[in-house]
Chains A and B, each alone.
Chain A
Amino acid sequence: MGRLFWKFFAFFWLAQLTSVIGLGVTFWLRNEMQQRIPDAVDASPPAAFHSAAAAATLRHGGIDALRSLLEESRQEAGLLSGPPVFAIDETGSELLGRALSPEIVAVLDSLAADAEKHSGVEAVVAGGHRYLLFVPPHRRPDGPAADAPPGGPGPQLGGTPQPRPPRGGGLPLMPLGAGALVSLVFAALLAWYVARPIRNLRSAFEAAADGRLEQRLAPTMGRRRDELADLGRDFDRMASRLKSLMDSQRRLLHDVSHELRSPLARLQAAIGLVRQQPERIDDFVARLERESGRMDTLVSELLTLSRLEAGMAGKLDESVDLAELLGDVVDDARFEAAARGCEVEFSADQGASVRGNAELLHRAIENIVRNAVKHTPPGSRVEIDLAPGSEQVIVRVADAGPGVADAELKSIFVPFFRGSSAEANNSPDGHGLGLAISQRVVEAHQGTISAANRPSGGLCVTVSLPLSAA
């Protein structure tokens, strides 16, 4: 259990404990008040009868009638005698000016608030005042008031009642203790519920910091649906993205070192030949030049690729006419194709203007076209067409070469991908970066690129770019 757990636990428990104790004490006080009312009111049937009689007198005869009734019952014993009825108005003064005992004073407010609820208490409004009528219990040390013989020592009205045996024994400790225990359990559960996913998250972060990105949080979250579960899922997404990025970087590094090694091996071989056959030095130096040129191309392509991947594509806001650009590319490609005895067919009826970086787009299209020229067999033709639509312009480059295995159609855009068909890969001039660069450029222009095998044989690469609003 971490510190967070204990903090949550302590706070939750404290909060629950406070509310339990607060509620408990409030109810206890209320209860205590209710229980003290019977101490101040005699609720026995004779007392209630006298209170009711007094109330009727007041209601129908008025205050003076009540006063005379009370006076009589006070002075005379006999028929009218009975328990003395007190009549108290809202200011707290008794009708006959009799003194009130401390018990009565203490409960007067709560009595006035709900007089109807207590038997033996009557509330009557008369003469602009609201009177509470009731019989205070009158006890004497020697016996119950009702049995007091007439003429005996008068009842001590409102006198101090005998102390009664304690009912609850002060504060109710049992329920409070149980409440505290239950709140303890709930506080622990709540703290655990909050602290556990955070602990899992932390261990996943630690693993990630150590380079282990395989750890996933989704299984530990279960069916939980809240911000913490969302956080876990976000972490999972981040980790898997990081992992795929790291893997691709590692693979790229491996491929780069291999690709750099090939021209180096050829350089070494050429140097060996120069030493062995100094008379053919001119041949071999030409070779050396060619190899170092290839290394230069490879390195600059790598730089372009890494810039594109880092999102540094440069300015993408020139207006570029794709028809014109394709025309330039095709002119160069025809020259190359002629050397291999094949043709490049392209005709544009209308221009298509896109917004972007002319140099990058030129490079992207050139890579696709040169790739097609490289793979199309001698005597065949590479067909290029440009189809501007309403929002997109589509460029298709189709060759008549061997095509690509269906499973590898996406992989040809991965840097350094080498197809399983060996024959096409013998040329030392291809590094497998061309189409990867094309893809990055097209994506930087919010376009899409895809490859498909033609039914008639050969590969068709389709580029779709958004037309500029102009």
Chain B
Amino acid sequence: MSAKVLLVDDDVELIEMLRDYLQRDGFAVDAVHDGASAVTAALSGDYAIAVLDVMMPGMSGIEVLRQIRAKSVIPVLMLTALGDDAERVDGLELGADDYVPKPCTPRELAARIRAILRRTAGAESDVENGAAPAVVSVGDLVLWPEQRRAAWAEQPLDLTCTEFNLLEVLARHAGHAVSKDKLSEQGLGRALSRFDRSIDVHVSSIRHKLAPLADGRSRIQTVFRKGYQLVRE
């Protein structure tokens, strides 16, 4: 497997070293150093995942993400400053699939990339193994995991890769509460760390994309101290 990774950071030397590491780890890697060319490259469709630094001069990583998300659901991993929560939540709300605090070890970065790529490709192998049904449907919601397609009342839903994964986990357990730990492991492909609000931000994005229940409540209910639940009508 030689997935193509797009690295975006203005720090040329760092990117060279990360490219060196990731190539040795079995990825094909391209690097760009500014926002404008990052948007072009990410939208070219050549890449399986984009790794995006938030702090860039000129066009910031957040702006790059906004422009990518306007047209594409390519998985995006953000490199954010450690401890800068606002930046992180902004990124996740705009549809980043996950984030890695910078500075990070290249090993952690590779592991995160692999986790996201596995989720993207994961469903297909599940279906091949016959472990999961080809179609998951809960009321008006229909998910086709192998095509990574979702529809609501016959209208296609535009979900990012991570949102799809989380919704799929919730749909498979519709009517039951799913803990955040489980959502993180199955949806994000990593264990939930303390004070990590990624799941909440992603779930909130999904809520905006699903129509609410007849009584105005959200279809995805927060279950106190347990996690989230997709309401079965």
The residues of A with any CB-CB pair to B shorter than 8 Å are: 257-258, 261-262, 264-273, 275-277, 287, 418-422, 425-426, 428
Contact = CB atoms under 8 A, between A and B. Distances in A.
Interface string B38-69: 00000000000000000111100000000000
Given A265-B14, A266-B17, A269-B18, A422 B103 contact: no
Interface string B85-109: 0000000000000000011111100
A271 B105 contact: yes
A426 B82 contact: no
B14 A426 contact: no
B140 interface: no
A267 B17 CA distance: 10
The residue among B14, B34, B55, B105 with the most chain A CB atoms within 10 A of its own CB is: B14
Given A264-B103, A426-B10, A273 B34 contact: no
Contact of A428 (B12, B58, B107): B12
B19 to A, nearest CB: 10
B81 A258 contact: yes
Given A265-B11, A266-B11, A273-B20, A422 B58 contact: yes
A422 B107 contact: no
Contacts of A264: 103
Contact of B103 (A265, A287, A418, A428): A265
A287 B17 contact: yes
Contacts of A268: 103-106
Contacts of B107: 272, 275-276
B225 interface: no
A262 B11 contact: yes
B25 interface: yes
The size bracket of the interface on B is: 20 to 34
Contacts of B25: 276
B57 A269 contact: no
B21 interface: yes
Contacts of A287: 17
A427 B55 CA distance: 15
B56 A267 contact: no
B162 to A, nearest CB: 24
B57 A422 contact: yes
A422 B34 contact: yes
A421 to B, nearest CB: 7
A267 B10 CA distance: 16
Contacts of B10: 422, 425-426
A258 B79 CA distance: 13
B233 interface: no
A72 B82 CA distance: 127
Given A257-B81, A276-B25, A426 B56 contact: no
